[in-house]
Structure 1
């Protein structure tokens, strides 16, 4: 009986959860928002992959939205700089709704992108989700795994990406 229950277990929602595949790109959702969770999620995928994607079969593209109250501040700025090892490309959104936080206390995705680039990890920062989506559509190619990390809905990025990728493929 226990074996049957385990065999039917589909995993935990929002933890390395495949959301769909389009144009050969596997789009995965993860609730990771703390630097430790970001690091361990990327590390696990880079080492073990997922059904339908194996390390080396395509790039691991990490997309991150710093949405929590603490991740919008500089409290974890240095820790995030060590959290993205194992990703082939990192796209970052500036923290949404951070206008209330003093600039000197605010997390900077642009600064993190520069720090990652200095480590040899290709990274880019975007002011909003629309600009990030446009960049993703230019960057992604068949075989890639696109890991979207946020503790929120990320402006429905997963679904928007899955809908836009086939259109990109048709345009060539």
Structure 2
């Protein structure tokens, strides 16, 4: 919407990075391939496992400053890991402690690493920071548990582009490894859906069943049905059980007919697609 091309997008982040007066105060995800476009000498890098970041000055791989290892789901349904910190003076890693989050997903480990890196730069107590992260229960519309009824768990998520949906589905699989995951996706805007069409199939592989609803047009004009059908067909070609389900009310009806005890139903979208999950819960409660 704001950045018409990838080059425009990269330029905005490069400009922001260049505006940071103290290099180490720029905290960068070393796992993100997009950081290769930044000129960020001396930045603080974080990421998973023992991956390396590219130092823009030397163009050599350099260790990440903050890393996590042993990332796995916890019995409580969250995610745990060991935290490691690279000592630039001694040129070696040291264990900085462990972390247990209430929220599932590798992406939340990355978020926590970023928060710890910032806390360290602000000279905050790291044990206190880790405890605060452990107590964080998330925000509305981000892997938000809407309720349970009839043995069905209903979750809502604001994710509306492939990267978000991929991360949330992986988190759901981490928390519910043995349960069937049924997802309902309300694609957001025609332009965005068309631009990201090729990225959707791989993003949805963790779903056992995927319903693709009509496009949420927002401020755009177009046929909400045709492109949604195309998206469902494209995802199905990749081996995902994907089906077109229509508008929100129709999708809710389809969900009610498909949901069975033990299912985890996730509604995705930045529009009003969460109404499908709410309707599902109400009807399950009335059975």
Under TM normalisation by the shorter chain, which class is it?
A: 0.7 to 0.9
Alpha-carbon distance in 2 for matches of 1:11, 1:128? 29
| 2:252 aligned residue | 133
- Residue 260 of structure 2 aligns to a residue whose secondary structure is coil
**What are the Cα deviations for residues 66-125 of structure 1, in whole angstroms up to 9, with x where unaligned?**
124643x4111111122101100000111133795456xx97221122222222211111
CA distance in 2, matches of 1:97, 1:31: 16
Structure 2 counterpart SS, 1:108: helix
8 Å Cα contact 2:159-2:268 kept in structure 1: yes
State the secondary structure of the residue aligned to 2:242: strand
Report the Cα offset of residue 12 of structure 1. 2.6
Q: Corresponding residue for 2:212?
A: 92
- Distance (whole Å) between structure 1 residues aligned to residue 208 and residue 274 of structure 2: 24
Q: What 5-or-longer segments of structure 1 have no aligned partner?
A: none
Q: TM-score by structure 2 length?
A: 0.50
Residue 122 of structure 1 corresponds to which residue in structure 2?
241
TM-score (norm: length of structure 1): 0.80
For 2:274 and 2:230, how far apart are their aligned partners in 1?
23
Query: Higher relative CO (CA 8 A, sep ≥ 6), structure 1 or 2?
Result: 1
Aligned position for 1:26: 153
- Aligned residue for 2:155, secondary structure, equals strand
Q: Which one of the candidate residues 268, 271, 277 is aligned to 1:149? A: 268
Which residue matches 2:177?
A: 55
May I ask how many residue pairs the two structures share in their alignment?
159
Is the strand fraction higher in 1 or 2? 2
Quote the residue 1:65 is aligned against. Answer: 186
Q: Which runs of 5+ in 2 are unaligned?
A: 1-126
Q: Alignment RMSD, CA only?
A: 2.5
Q: 1:61 touches 1:144 (CA, 8 Å); kept in 2? A: yes
Contact 1:68-1:151 within 8 A present in 2 as well: no
Equivalent of 1:43 in 159, 164, 170: 170
